[in-house]
Chains A and B, each alone.
Chain A
């Protein structure tokens, strides 16, 4: 299960948005990955997400694998679309 989404908030994947994303992702048992360009990183790691250095308007693909993958992808996409206002 995967979906592609564009980052809308001004500061991109900064500490706070990355933290909010990780918190949401960690609610699911599925593995969650974030792919930007050719690089794929662990969606449950604040360090990995920040190291992608993603700015506003970057496109990312959110992939989940596991029992709750559909819900996980939807929740994470929703969060990005809502500019990380959890």
Chain B
């Protein structure tokens, strides 16, 4: 039987299912006849819940660090909260309620209090109260939550959904893969699965109905395809695919430590894009030559207030120190419009992509921009920092950004804070006007970085989130490629390096073309780096230049794409 879900973590798996089915809690409203015994029973469940959470916290600490474990520390405090326990015991004593009934009433009251609050963060705390009180209810009812750590043989974990306290205790050596009924690519389970490198397909809707513990199951975390109870032929097919994929991975792993060089020895930078210090592990694993783009806006999202200067400083410092001298290009926040942040109060706009975002907002809000610039400057002494400004459309904007950076530097200097003497400042080229005046910009900064996702959408006037025009969003459009060539040529004319971040920077089809155009650095999802390193070894610069000639002689994007496709298959 075939199922299809959302691909959440890559890899092919064949194994036996272990279905995590936990009976729902049914609360009997019958009053208790022995109040003292009921109180005792309640306190025993409290003690067990607290002990359970202690294990969860320790496991989370070992697997994911103190940051992730802190949430379980507060869960433990919720379990023994005097208001909660006091009210439950008062209901047992005063109204002869049984413990489960009393707990469910008190829990519902607190959940309602949090859900009614006008602050999103506080509303989300209702989920914590639910998670904790559900655990207490299970312990009261004596429902054993299967302890996955005691299962001997490796298994494919199948569940309706997994809570943070469940994923925290998963042993990646035992869990071959994860299949859930609900959830998606950006949810908690997906993130944990990718961090632990456990293949996963989520959002399967009926996985726990279709599969029983002990059944064979085969799936591909890249395509989202799941086969329940596969026959021997299908299992063999999946195993062969897995072997091929693993062989490929071994071949790629062997490239770690090798230079990013073409067959004739021309070296480029293959860098990684990151969103937080948490991505540093992956960056190291795939042997990035540095960070080509640190999207700092992720530090600002999903929270009620702005991260403080110290908090930002710590994040930037962590990244710079971990790179041990390799460069890190940190982009000031590119936020607003389609990536709203509650505390920035930008409001709804008709055309957010053409609206009040990135430096347009920052330049009007020195109280926010200054904090980030000071944090960056303070961090500059801990490694090789490069600062990049997004959404620059004119020289004036760049000059105003640089002036604020210098003001922040003077402020810190006056206070005697150490700042690196020379910090390269660059411009993200993602607006067509910036690409056209890249000769002017290049004379006023230290590097250019082409952001292709926005550059394409602005050049061909296609909202990349609007499905009806998505076909027109075209990374092979000759207009887009000409702009890119202009930027690279202008950068080199004035002696500044040109890099590229955004999807095209990691695209195997574009690699020889961009290499032939002379791009200095490619920044991409870290997992793509070794694949591009291998591909680059197959090219000599004169051959890539010949490909550039061929591509630029064509007028239609489909002919360009076909030429690039031919070039790639010829060398695969």
Interfacial residues, chain A to chain B (CB-CB below 8 A)? 10-11, 14-16, 19, 22-23, 42, 44-48, 50-51, 53, 55-56
CA distance A40 to B303 in the complex (A): 27
CB of B25 closer than 8 Å to a CB of A: no
Most buried by B among A45, A47, A51: A47
- Count of residues in B whose CB is under 8 Å from the partner chain: 26
Contact, CB under 8 Å: A47 / B304: no
Q: Is B84 an interface residue (CB 8 A)?
A: yes
Bound-complex Cα distance A23 to B74 (A):
11
Please state if B82 and A45 are interface contacts (CB–CB under 8 Å). Answer: yes
Q: Which residue of B lies closest to A23 (CB)?
A: B77
**Does the CB pair B74–A56 fall under 8 Å?**
no
Q: Which of A16, A45, A48, A53 contacts B122 (CB 8 A)?
A: A53
Specify which chain A residues have a CB less than 8 angstroms from the CB of B253 in the assembled complex.
none
B83 contacts A42, C-beta separation under 8 Å: yes
Chain B window 116-129, contacts with chain A (Cβ cutoff 8 Å), 1 for yes, 0 for no:
01110110010011
**CB–CB A51/B114 < 8 A:** yes
A51 touches B77 (CB 8 A): no
Whether B122 and A10, one on each chain, are in contact in the complex, defined by CB atoms closer than 8 angstroms, is no
| Chain A residue nearest to B305 in the complex (CB) | A10
* A15 and B83 contact, Cβ closer than 8 Å, known pairs A10-B308, A46-B74, A51-B110: no
Residue B297 at the A interface, CB < 8 A? Answer: no
Question: Can you list 8 A-B contacts (CB < 8 A)?
Answer: A16-B74, A19-B74, A22-B77, A42-B82, A45-B83, A47-B129, A51-B113, A53-B118
Q: Is the interface of B mostly helix, strand, loop or mixed?
A: helix
Q: Bound complex: CA of A14 vs CA of B70, how far in Å? A: 13
Q: Which residues of A sit under 8 angstroms from B421, Cβ to Cβ?
A: none
**Complex interface: chain B residues within 8 A of A16 (CB):** 70, 74
The 6 A-B residue pairs with the shortest CB-CB distance, nearest first, are: A45-B83, A10-B305, A48-B83, A46-B77, A47-B81, A51-B113
Whole-angstrom CA separation of A48 from B106 in the bound complex: 13
**Min CB distance, B30 to chain A, in Å?**
27
With A10-B305, A45-B84 given, name 19 new contacts (CB 8 A). Answer: A11-B303, A11-B304, A14-B121, A14-B304, A15-B71, A19-B74, A19-B77, A44-B82, A45-B82, A47-B84, A47-B129, A48-B81, A48-B83, A50-B114, A50-B122, A51-B110, A51-B117, A53-B119, A55-B119
Interface residues of B in 67-86 (CB under 8 A from A): 70-71, 73-74, 77-78, 81-84
Chain B positions within 8 Å of A, measured between CB atoms, are 70-71, 73-74, 77-78, 81-84, 110, 113-114, 117-119, 121-122, 125, 128-129, 303-306, 308
- In the bound assembly, the distance between CA atoms of A42 and B129 in angstroms comes to 18
State the Cβ distance, B117 to closest chain A Cβ, in Å: 5
Question: In the assembled complex, how far is the CB of residue A51 from the closest CB belonging to chain B, in whole angstroms?
Answer: 5
Q: Are B308 and A15 in contact (CB under 8 A)?
A: no
Report the separation of the CA atoms of residues A51 and B110 in the bound assembly, to the nearest whole angstrom: 8
Give the complex CA separation of A48 and B128 in angstroms.
14
Contact between B78 and A47, CB atoms less than 8 A apart: yes
Residues of B close to A44: CB separation below 8 A? 82
- Is B306 touching A53 in the complex (CB atoms < 8 A)? no
Chain A residues near B122 (CB-CB < 8 A): 50, 53
Which residues of the other chain, A, contact B78 by a CB distance below 8 angstroms?
Answer: 46-47
How near does chain B come to A10, taking the closest CB pair, in angstroms? 5
CB distance from A26 to the nearest CB of B (A): 9
Is B83 touching A19 in the complex (CB atoms < 8 A)? no
What is the minimal beta-carbon distance from B412 to any residue of chain A, in angstroms? Answer: 21
CA of A48 to CA of B125 in the docked complex: distance in angstroms?
12
B83, A10: Cβ atoms closer than 8 Å: no
User: Are A19 and B73 closer than 8 Å at their CB atoms?
Assistant: yes
Distance A37 CA – B203 CA, assembled complex (angstroms): 46
User: Could you tell me the distance in whole angstroms from the C-beta of B249 to the nearest C-beta in chain A?
Assistant: 39
Complex interface: chain A residues within 8 A of B82 (CB): 42, 44-45
Partner of B81 from the list A10, A15, A46 (CB cut-off 8 Å) is A46
Contacts of A14 on B, CB cut-off 8 Å?
Answer: 121, 304
Contacts of B128 in A (CB 8 A): 15
Taking the closest CB of chain B, its distance from the CB of A46, in whole angstroms, is 5
A86 to B427, CA, bound (A): 42
With the chains together, A48 CA to B110 CA distance in Å?
9
**Chain B contacts of A22 at CB under 8 A?**
77
- CA–CA, A16 to B308, complex, Å? 16
| Measured CA separation A51–B83 after assembly (Å) | 11
Smallest Cβ distance from B11 to chain A, in angstroms? 34
Instruction: Give the Cβ gap from B133 to chain A, nearest Cβ, in Å.
Output: 11
CA distance A45 to B119 in the complex (A): 20
Contacts of A45 in B (CB 8 A): 81-84
Chain A residues whose C-beta falls within 8 Å of the C-beta of B77 in the assembled complex: 19, 22-23, 46
